[in-house]
Amino acid sequence: MELSNSEEQLMQILWKKEKAYMKELLDEYPEPKPALTTVATLLKRMQDKNFVGYDQIGRSRQYFPKVSKKNYFSKQMNGLIKNFFNDSTSQFASFFTKETDLSEKELIELRKLIDERIKNK
């Protein structure tokens, strides 16, 4: 299941804070801040999608992510590779290295990562 752009924005805040009350989440938004009811609606939808949980503390809820940023990002990247690069990581890598403005240093670092991965296989 995927998140909308507004849900993903809220999830980024929650990943950063790890646990937060509604007011703390709202405070993290840039101006103009969304309405409290908007954030509450987003949280409810994200709970329904099983991305967010909460602990009831008195009359307040402390929200936390149920999905790690790494797992979400990994699924998003795999979907991107599948949908836009014919499920070919080499096509993705080719596009990434040609279409982004990587410096020579970054390309060398990327090569080192690949060489290390090959070595460990």
H helix runs in the chain, sequence order? 5-17, 22-28, 36-48, 69-84, 89-99, 104-119
- Both 52 and 79 in a single domain? no
- Both 33 and 50 in a single domain? yes
- Both 12 and 56 in a single domain? yes
**Overall domain count for the chain:** 2
- Both 84 and 42 in a single domain? no
pLDDT digits (tens, 9 = 90+) for 24-58: 999 999 999 999 999 999 999 999 999 999 999 99
Mean pLDDT of the 1-17 span = 94
Rounded Cα–Cα distance for residues 81 and 65 (Å): 25
pLDDT digits (tens, 9 = 90+) for 64-87: 999 999 999 988 888 888 888 888
Instruction: Please check whether residue 69 is in contact with residue 77, taking contact to mean a CB–CB distance below 8 angstroms.
Output: no
CATH number at residue 36: 1.10.10.10
H-helix or E-strand spanning residue 65: strand 60-65
Instruction: Please check whether residue 15 is in contact with residue 47, taking contact to mean a CB–CB distance below 8 angstroms.
Output: no
Q: Which of 67, 72, 55 is nearest to 19 (CA)?
A: 55
- Both 79 and 107 in a single domain? yes
- Both 50 and 75 in a single domain? no
List the domain range (segments joined by +) for residue 91.
Answer: 69-119
Domain boundary among 65, 83, 109: 65
Joined together, the tokens standing for residue 81 give 């590779």
β-pair type (52-57, 20-21): unpaired
What global pTM score does this model have?
Answer: 0.75
- Both 80 and 113 in a single domain? yes
Predicted confidence (pLDDT) at residue 106 exceeds the cutoff of 80? yes
